[in-house]
Amino acid sequence: MSEFFLDVENGKTRTKFPGHSVVGRAGFKDGLEEFVLKLREFHDVHWQNAVERLRECTRAGYESAWNRHIEPSLAEIDMDDLSVERVESWLSSIPSKGAARKAWSVLRAMLRKAIKWGFLDVDITRRIDAPKRAAYQPATLNARELNCLLRGFWGHELEAWLICSICLGLRTEEALGLDWEDIDLRSGKVHVRRGLQWINGHEVVVEPKTELSRRTVILPRFAILRLRQLKGRGRLVGTLNPGQVARRYVSWCKQHDLPCVPRRNLRHSWATTALAAGVDVAVVSRALGHSSIETTAKYYLRPDLSVLKDAQKQWEHAIMQ
């Protein structure tokens, strides 16, 4: 059973359903009374159920965007009153391009879900240009710097983790989640089966990001030989949590003046050095667990000047014959 009551101050009727309420405008259209939700009500009642099955890190990211940017400006607005002009004005008020893009992606997902479920009729998201992606050129290490970094961690408690991070192009969470059981030290095969994340103050073991992320990769010969010497049990990072790994990695690099990039950029470093060494982009894409070669080419295929000079020499040789 639903209950109706009149909100005199706002000139609207409200309908209460079990467990939640729906706000509706007073009036009829085609003989039926219309009801619309405030964005906050849609978020609290319906959206939370929609994202329940997503990975915890994804839900945390959505909630962060909601709490920081969407709720303060748009939560009390009726969803039917959200216009292109109002949303574009809101987006322009967010100073960071990255934050604006994230907040927009969450709001767009909410509005499209509302349309799918029949709470909205008009899709304004198709008339709004998404904020441009902020230019991102990750800092990477070249082959010589990677060699120096590996040597600098000889005998360190994180050496096994660093070897796999550098040699396999793993995502940060994938490297943290590696167990010794995942590594075949005879064949050099490493099975990527899980990830380890630190979310809201606790560890979360997650499934691979996509089906292609659940993959088998191969260690180089030198890495196999060293890991045989280091062979242990359990996680490669032992009992350290992700935050502790990050701090000890950076601290050791600073203490010994080693080349250092954020942990996630070790993956970028492997990809760029592999491509520069002549490894086919399709092979690199498979090793990274990308869903398409286009992703690999877009973010990693950036020839350095020496490669471009060699290309010009080859081109010159071809036309000057």
Q: What is the CATH number of the domain that holds 93?
A: 1.10.150.130
Torsion angle, CA of 258/264/266/268, rounded to 10 degrees? Answer: -130
Please tell me the total count of domains within the chain.
2
Domain end among 93, 112, 135: 135
For 233, list phi and psi in degrees, rounded to 5: -130, 155
Q: What integer pLDDT is reported at residue 241 of this predicted model?
A: 94
What crossing angle do the helices spanning 281-288 and 264-276 adopt, rounded to 10°? Answer: 160
Sign of CA dihedral 47, 53, 56, 58: negative
What pLDDT, on a 0 to 100 scale, did the predictor assign at position 181?
Answer: 96
Is residue 236 assigned to a domain?
Answer: yes
pLDDT score, position 77: 93
Does 111 share its domain with 224?
no
- The pLDDT of residue 15: 40
Q: Which residues contact 118 (CB under 8 A, 6 or more apart)?
A: none
**Are residues 297 and 204 both part of a single domain?**
yes
Statement to judge: residues 189 and 260 lie in one domain: yes
Q: For residues 8 and 215, give the distance between their C-alpha atoms in angstroms, rounded to a whole number.
A: 61
Among the three residues 97, 118, 135, which one is the final residue of a domain in this structure?
Answer: 135
Are 165 and 98 part of one and the same domain? no
Q: What is the pLDDT along the chain (321 residues), one digit of tens a residue?
A: 334 333 434 444 344 333 444 444 444 444 445 556 799 999 999 998 889 888 888 899 999 999 999 999 999 999 989 999 999 999 999 998 889 999 999 999 999 999 999 888 888 988 998 888 766 778 999 999 999 999 999 999 999 999 999 999 999 999 999 999 999 999 999 999 999 998 888 898 888 888 888 999 999 999 999 999 999 999 999 999 999 999 999 999 999 999 999 999 999 999 988 888 888 888 888 888 887 887 777 777 665 666 667 777 777 777 777
Q: Residue 36 falls within a domain, yes or no?
A: no
State if pTM tops 0.85: no
Q: What is the CATH number of the domain that holds 166?
A: 1.10.443.10
130 with 147, same domain: the answer is no
Give dist(CA 268, CA 139) in Å, integer: 8
Residues 120 and 201 placed together within one structural domain of the fold = no
Residues 126 and 256 in one domain: no
296 and 231 fall within a common domain: yes
Amino acid 306: pLDDT: 65
Give the separation between CA 41 and CA 11, rounded to whole angstroms: 18
Domain boundary among 81, 110, 135: 135
Pair (204, 163) in one structural domain: yes
In a domain, 315, yes or no: no
Token pair recorded at residue 255? 């203490």
Residues 186 and 288 grouped into a single domain:
yes
Q: Does residue 124 lie within any of the structural domains? A: yes
Q: How far apart are CA 143 and CA 146, in angstroms?
A: 5
**Claim to verify: residue 283 and residue 151 sit in the same structural domain:** yes
Q: Which domain holds residue 272?
A: 143-307
| Polymer length in residues for the chain | 321
Residues 158 and 79 placed together within one structural domain of the fold: no
Please report whether residue 47 resides in a domain.
no
pLDDT of residue 296: 78
Quote the radius of gyration of the chain (alpha carbons, Å): 26
